[in-house]
Amino acid sequence: MYRWEITRAALEQRVFAIVRGESYEKATAAADTLLGAGVTSLEISLTTPFALEAISTLRRETGDDSVIGAGTVLDGASARLAVDAGARFLVSPSLDAEVIRTGHRYGVPVFPGVASPTEMVRALELGADALKLFPASAHSPRWLRDVRAALPQAPVLPTGGVTVEDAPEWIAAGAAACGMGSALTEGDRETVTKRVTELLQRLEDAVPHHAR
């Protein structure tokens, strides 16, 4: 798949899950629950022990049915290891040119972290495929709406503090998708499935008409 095709698939549901566990077992179990609940795109944070092995396992088990990426990718070396492990996309809390270059060298989209209009423009100049607004809790949907009035070409992914309740507000304000961690994963399988099903519908309903 081309980078743009992977990006589209990763953000198609307007939410991508963030899995950050205390162990390989907990991370893969959380990922299995989310995938079983209907989430098609998730990242395994590299802060998770044996994260690369978890990525490889999930890629092998799910094939093309899901889009598995790597999160908290801080440098070029980590980016290369994540790509070798099978990550389909790379996400970072910061803006690092080498992470973008490394991902793109191997046809993998990169969503770097940004926190201001200046960083957004810089990330776009570096070729970022989407922009992770981090932490989203430091901003608001209204702030994003104001920024996108000046930068409508910026595909923004609010992440960090996004809740099930306010995720639709971010989408209505023009976000391409939201990154969500514990807000999605808390509870048993039945609870997570119900939450995911309801959230996906609410996000679909929140999309501005001109963007449908």
Q: Could you list the active site residues?
A: 43, 132
Strands (E), the chain: 15-19, 41-45, 67-71, 90-91, 110-111, 113-114, 131-133, 156-158, 178-180
The CA-based dihedral angle spanning residues 124, 128, 129, 134, taken in that order and rounded to the nearest 10 degrees: -90
Q: How far is CA 180 from CA 12, 85, 153, in A?
A: 15, 23, 23
Place of tokens 């077992």: 25
